[in-house]
């Protein structure tokens, strides 16, 4: 069974009543709950020692899912570099919503990762690569009646695939579901999931994340260790 670690800052849900109502167990708790049906899942949060992403945990993780927002700059450099190294050697990574700007993603992508944003919009999430494994069983368009607008230009390197493209009621479009390959590691960035709205309860969104776990899982049974990656560790 694939091993998944779900990391969430777990800050907004403890600070704001309206967000706690949407995610009483935290965003990580909600995601872990629907993934548990098919995967072996553990969770990690910002306040845990080493953010819960110790060498042992990462070594025992096939796919890491991250949700970050308010504590991007406070996130440990050392842990971010550790995660980067594990991705380069084969661990899958799924970065959700505002985790586009996580230290982990900035390290792996090498661009500014900036975008346009606005609160209180609605989104139509269009599937722009219907034969991609992450789109399996997903309709051509998903309506998200409430979602934060993320708009172009999104400063990312050219993705391998743009599986989903978001259209917002303000007229903006966004590359909402992008895949990247870094070293031996597969990465999926997925835009939906603003903390104020029940996005991660949407069955289609859940299916996309499950598909992404399978897609990003390491292909090799024993993770490859490229020379340069090993050198960083020593």
Residue closer to Zn ion (CB basis): 186 or 194: 194
Query: 202 vs 34, 41, 87, 135, CA distance in Å?
Result: 11, 19, 28, 15
Residue closer to Zn ion (CB basis): 98 or 206: 98
Residue closer to Zn ion (CB basis): 191 or 211: 191
When asked if residue 123 is in the footprint of Zn ion (CB under 5 A), the reply is no
Residue closer to Zn ion (CB basis): 117 or 126: 117
Residue closer to Zn ion (CB basis): 89 or 98: 98
Report whether the peptide linkage leading into residue 153 is cis, meaning its omega lies within 30 degrees of zero: yes
Minimum Å gap between C-beta 15 and Zn ion is 14
Backbone angles phi, psi at 201, to 5 degrees: -95, -10
When asked if residue 132 is in the footprint of Zn ion (CB under 5 A), the reply is no
Return the range that interacts with Zn ion (CB under 5 A); candidates 18-26, 128-136, 190-198, 202-210: 190-198
- CB-nearest residue to Zn ion: 194
When asked if residue 194 is in the footprint of Zn ion (CB under 5 A), the reply is yes
Return the range that interacts with Zn ion (CB under 5 A); candidates 18-26, 43-51, 77-85, 188-196: 188-196
Residue closer to Zn ion (CB basis): 62 or 123: 123
Minimum Å gap between C-beta 7 and Zn ion is 16
Return the range that interacts with Zn ion (CB under 5 A); candidates 10-18, 35-43, 173-181, 193-201: 193-201
Minimum Å gap between C-beta 26 and Zn ion is 15
**Nearest by Cα to 211 from 154, 149, 130:** 130
Residue closer to Zn ion (CB basis): 12 or 132: 12
Minimum Å gap between C-beta 51 and Zn ion is 20
CA distance 73 to 17: 24
Return the range that interacts with Zn ion (CB under 5 A); candidates 34-42, 104-112, 144-152, 173-181: 144-152
**Nearest by Cα to 7 from 110, 82, 109:** 82
When asked if residue 148 is in the footprint of Zn ion (CB under 5 A), the reply is yes
Contact residues: Zn ion, CB under 5 A: 98, 148, 194
């Amino acid at each position: 069974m694939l091993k998944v670690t779900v990391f969430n800052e777990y800050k907004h849900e403890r600070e704001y009543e309206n967000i706690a109502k949407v995610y009483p167990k935290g965003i990580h708790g909600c995601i872990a709950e629907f993934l548990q049906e098919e995967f072996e899942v553990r969770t990690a949060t910002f306040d845990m020692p080493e953010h819960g992403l110790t060498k042992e945990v990462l070594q025992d993780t096939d796919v890491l899912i991250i949700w970050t927002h308010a504590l991007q700059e406070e996130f440990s450099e050392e842990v971010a570099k550790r995660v980067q190294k594990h991705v380069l050697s084969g661990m899958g990574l799924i970065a959700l919503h505002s985790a586009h700007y996580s230290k982990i993603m900035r390290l792996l992508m090498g661009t500014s990762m900036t975008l346009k944003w606005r609160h209180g919009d609605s989104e139509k999430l269009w599937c722009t690569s219907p034969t991609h494994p992450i789109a399996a069983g997903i309709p051509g368009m998903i309506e998200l009646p409430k979602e934060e607008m993320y708009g172009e230009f999104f400063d990312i390197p050219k993705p391998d695939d743009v599986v989903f493209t978001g259209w917002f009621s303000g007229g903006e479009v966004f590359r909402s579901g992008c895949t990247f390959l870094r070293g031996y590691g597969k990465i999926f960035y997925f835009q939906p999931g603003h903390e104020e709205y029940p996005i991660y309860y949407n069955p289609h969104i859940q299916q996309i994340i499950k598909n992404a776990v399978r897609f990003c899982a390491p292909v090799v049974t024993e993770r490859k260790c490229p020379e340069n990656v090993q050198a960083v560790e020593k």
